[in-house]
Structure 1
Amino acid sequence: MEKKLTLEHLKLATLDSQGLTQNTPFGTGKDAVLHALEHLGYVQIDTLSMVERAHHHTLWTRIPDFRADYLEELVEERKIFEYWFHAASYLPMQDFRYVLPQMQTIKRGESRYYNADSKVMKYVTDAIRNEGPKRARDFENESHKAGTWWNWKPAKLALERLFMQGDLMISGRSGMQKTYDLAERVLPSSIDSTEPTPFELAEYLVKTNLRAYGFTTIKQITHLRKGNDLKKNVNEVLQTMLEEDRISKVKVDGGNSVFVQNDLLEKTFDLTDSNVWLLSPFDNSIIHRDRIKQIFDFDFRLECYTPKEKRQYGYFCLPILFGNQFIGRVDCKAHRKEKKFELIHLHIENDTIDPEVWLTPFAETLKLFAIFNGCESLVLTKVSPSKLGSIVKRVLSSKSKLKK
């Protein structure tokens, strides 16, 4: 017989699992970055820079003293690595073996992406083997012809294919500029590099999702991963965990059934002093859009890829989480040269909460985020609904000049 769970409890359980009910859920400093990655499973890398990039933003949200060089140092220390989860990501080195199935799929040519000339691939591999780690810019485009994919030059295509099939790994970064080296020189000898069985891969995905989100579904676990065999194995893992009483299948008020970690069913959560979080659009907690719509009744879509005339909210909106409710989103931009952080359009969509309750913690979070983005002043351009404009401007005016 299925257990029942209130929607409010499920919200708190998943936010707690995501590290969004405490100020320092993973501790502080560089160790906290590693702990966060090992708990969350991955953090997505993205190149968009309207505000601080997604991988930095996501970690800063959970680690207030986060610095970008922590990630670079952990890569150099071989404690984390870059590869693909559902997108380009940082992952804990301890999980390396679970990316091997995808690497092998690409190596066998079963993916229509990452096409590269075999002669160029050999040239790139030999150059790195003989001369040491290299960046894409270190290779000259001798043919002076652009590549066929994203207009990349042939050596860049070769680097990306060799990386995706596991012959090369990223040994370091300077901003978004990657340095590649032979995998055998990057991968620590202590790391298990045996390819997991399909069942072991399913078990890893199930456990990672449950640990990071508190609850899960088969659809969420297999997000962007193809194959009926994977779904079958995932279902088998979940059924085994149910039989062993490690998880429960729970009917959520007004929704479908989900699989929940047992320790979260009776756990209490203290949100007396509710925090406000400004989340990256690529934050782990928001990335499964259907899940957020179902559990939080928040319909979020990133509109930077939508034609301007069809955008409803703005180019690069950040979801605003207050306690266990998404109260709106803000389209914003860090003008780094002017050191000015602009709220292009603040959209408040929950009118059931008195603004006086959330505005002060929102203003404080905004101040800290602007400083994190290297800005020294705040500018508010537009608020919706317009009736909130005066009170929002009054509260934010006290934070308009920022001090570290």
Structure 2
Amino acid sequence: MPSALPLADPAPLDGLLPASAGLDAASRDFGVYLHVPFCRVRCGYCDFNTYTATELRGVKQSDYASQAILEVEAGGRILADSGVLPRAAATVFFGGGTPTLLPAENLVRMLQAVERTWGLAPGAEVTTEANPDSVDREYLDSLAAAGFTRVSFGMQSAVPRVLATLERTHDPERIPLVVQWAREAGLDVSLDLIYGTPGESLEDWRTSLEHAIAQRPDHISAYSLIVEDGTKLARQIRRGEVAPVDEDHQADLYELADELLDQAGYGWYEVSNWATDAAHESRHNLAYWRSQDWWGIGPGAHSHVGGVRWWNVKHPSAYADRVLAGHSPAAGRETLDDATREVERVLLGSRIREGLAVESLAPAGRAAVAGLIADELIDPRHAFAGRIVLTLRGRLLADAVVRRLLPD
């Protein structure tokens, strides 16, 4: 089952935010994340807040769009009543779960609610995640006609044996077809890959990378498999049924990914993400890494506005009860202090290619720069120009770099 929600302060039923949330709002972008918590099957490695049909406790998927729209509309009122400057959504992202398990018209209705409530900024990026076996040409055409601009397909691997270990159900041969349909609909395309699956060889990973690159997507994400406590995969490893994840092997796989993607014309812009050019980077995810504002809609969704973070109740039935009663679905929230915000700024900002300004660091962080250059963890050219940008070795050891940049 999904992991537990964090511990924090209770959230008020009216959802109103403290006055601090609105400070300097004009300097920050605003995005909307819509969580669709449904999957046909639960993959063995998955720790996301998702539910199969047998786990819904009477909740109907067909009712979900209307419930999410209630939260969107309430969100607009809450921000206005909290005195937060109204801003059009620069990005909208449908994640899951599998958003495309819902009929296309449901996603369209939810997007229209966002536009009615907050507006869409000119050139807004509107993305949905999708499993390759959950869409057809007509579905993608419908999304594009309604204003979606981007689709991110969960490819994960091109090797059937690896997909079987992950318990992914799609046929890798379907990838070229769905990419073609998305292209013909006028959508930008991202492919998501996972590396380090138990039993995955370097050649398996090369096969997946080459298959992904051959489709010429605009964007490729490659995430290392993390074995989360409580998942089926964690239990299989603990019982000795599946080999444990080898971190050294994962590093070799990452280096191969960076090599092949660079050769194919993809540039890294975040530790796990590559794009053909800056125009095709995920603007929604960049907003997270830049600590911008976003409202998360749906069960378990997290939000952040002006240093105030909150998260919704997790189960779809509890979520439905809250929004139908006219209450905020928030389960808890916290207001970040200056020290925590600085840690997050360094932690997230160091992961992206634009990096961090050396002068923005505390004295201890500035003093660490020379050692980081000597250890080949940050690029010396950028450092001498005043910015912290990770080298390939630094990306593999990003957490260690952050520890050295932060004061004790």
State the TM-score, normalized to the length of structure 1: 0.23
State the TM-score, normalized to the length of structure 2: 0.23
Larger Cα Rg: Structure 1 or Structure 2?
1
